[in-house]
Amino acid sequence: MSKIETIGIFCKQKSAISEEVLKELTEWLRHKNLKVLMPPDSASILGETSDHSQESIAPESDLIIVLGGDGTLLSVARLTHSHHVPILAVNLGSLGFLTEIELPEMLSTLEKVLQGESVAEKRMLLKTTLRREGESVREDVALNDVVINKKAARIVNLEVLVNHQYMTSYRADGLIIATPTGSTAYSLSAGGPIIHPSMHALLLCPICPFTLTNRPIVIPDKSAIAIKLTTEEEVQITLDGQTGYPMYRDDILEVQRGTTPVQIIQATEKNYYEILRKKLHWGRPADDQKSD
């Protein structure tokens, strides 16, 4: 990681918690003579003004700090990934699979980052292209998942090709295409497996399939996926559970690994399995239980 002089901060507006944390963080950074950039909505939490738009923060920053939950991080990651700026995500009290750094750890972790003692893990993005009558009508990226689901209470038909080879046709409430990062999000609730974020894989997970033999499948991340809608149902494409738009009959959604990963700074004292145990409330080691 190169020398850090300018830090961009995105903060979720969350009453007194956000104001207190953001004030402590900005004062700490400015005391170290670091330049702080914030978009207007974050700056307003402190009663400050800003002439930087959300889009202009990343190109000028050496590090981005996200204060909030996973949803805040997902939106910032989609916004900033192309600028290769590492992200330090601090959890403001939500579940936080991605925002693994807790508030008491914020300044100590940041000190290590400034001293060059941190590690940024690269997380795969999904790149999507929606084609209508052979023409590209929309392109997007997602860090967690891309979901195709119905609007009405009826089953949709989706024809799936992988690397131009027909794989199957799903009759289901919808389909989730997830990264390893997103395997602990919506896909997990739909019965999909947990995939370690270092794995080079993509996950296809049907939502309530009509045929019970249609199970989630993990495929190589170099695969090119094409999903065609073959019914007239009202269908929505949703990116990371945040941005959505309609899909019509005979539209084709192409999904593949993005060219630019997101760099998320890891908490050096933790490991992935510890985070899973904590967030999913898995059992503790037998030795720990004996001491109760």
Cα dist. 34→8, 40, 62, 170, 216 in Å? 10, 19, 11, 53, 47
70 in catalytic set? yes
DSSP symbols for the chain: -PPP-EEEEEE---HHHHHHHHHHHHHHHHHTT-EEE--HHHHGGGT------HHHHHHH-SEEEEEE-HHHHHHHHHHHGGGT--EEEEE-SS--SS--B-GGGHHHHHHHHHTT---EEEE--EEEEEEETTEEEEEEEESSEEEEEESSSS-EEEEEEETTEEEEEEEESEEEEE-TGGGGTHHHHTTPPP--TTS-EEEEEEES-SSTT---EEEETT--EEEEE-S-S-EEEEETTTEEEEE-TT-EEEEEE-SS-EEEEPPTT--HHHHHHHHHTPPPPHHHHHT-
Of 70, 140, 173, 251, which is the active-site residue? Answer: 70
Strand 35-37, strand 6-11: pairing: parallel
Residue whose C-alpha is closest to residue 42's, from 3, 70, 76, 74: 76
In 10 A of CB 177, how many CB atoms?
24
Name the residues annotated as catalytic. 70
